[in-house]
Structure 1
Amino acid sequence: VPARPTSLVVTDVQRDSIAIKWKPPKDDGGSPILCYIVEKRPTSSKFWSKVTKVDADTTELYVRNLHDHAEYHFRVIAENKVGQSEPLETQDSTMAKSPFNVPSRPTGPLEIKDVTHNSVDMAWKPPQKDGGKPVTSYIIEYRVLSRTFWSKAGTVDGKTTTFTANNLMEDTDYMFRVTAVNDEGQSPPLESDESTKPIKKINLPGQPIYFRATKIGADFAVMEWKPPIDDGGSRITGYVILKRESLDDERTKMTSVTSHELSCTLKNLRQNVNYYFSICAENKVGLSKPADADHAVCPMRQPQKPSSPRGPIKVTDIMKTSMNISWKHPEDDGGSPLTGYLIEQKESKRQYWNKVQQLPATVTSFNIQNLRANTEYDYRISAVNKIGYSEPLISDASTMAKSPF
Structure 2
Amino acid sequence: IQCSCCPRKIVSVRVCSTLHLFVTIRGRPEPEVKWSKEGDTLSERAQIEVTSSYTVLLIENVNRNDTGKYVLTASNCCGSKSAFINVKVLDSPSAPTNLEVKDVKKDSVSISWEPPLIDGGAKISHYIVEKREETRKAFTSVFSNCMRNSYKIDNLQEGCFYYFRVLAVNEFGTGLPAETTEAIKVSEVPLPPGKITLNDVTCSSARLSWEKPAHDGGSKITCYIVEMQAKGDDTWTKCSESKALDAIIDGLTKGKEYFFRVCAVNQKGKSEPKCLLAPVIVKDTSTEPMISLLSNTFSVKAGNDLKIDVPFKGVPPPTATWKKDCNALKETSRVNVSTSDTSSQIIIKDATRIDVGVYEVTLNNSVGTTSAQIFVNHNVEPPKIILEDKFRQVVVVKAGDLLRIEAVISGHPNPTVFWLKNGRNIGTTGRVEITATKTHTSLLIRESVRKDSGQYTLTLQNTGGTTSKAITCKVLDRPGPPAGPLEVSGLSAEKCTLSWGTPHETGGAEIMYYIVEKCETSRVAWTLVYGDMMSTTCKITKLLKGNEYLFRVRAVNKYGEGETLESDPVKAMDPFTIPSAPTDVEVTSATNEAMTICWKTPASDGGSRISGYIVEKREKQGIRWVRVNKKPVYDLRVKASGLHPGSEYEFRVFAENAAGLSEPSLPCPLTLGVLLFFQKKMLCNLKDYESQE
- State the TM-score bracket (shorter-chain normalisation): 0.3 to 0.5
TM-score (norm 1): 0.44
Higher RCO (CA < 8 A, seq sep 6+): 1
Higher strand share: 2
Question: Which has the larger Rg?
Answer: 1
TM-score (norm 2): 0.27
Higher helix share: 2
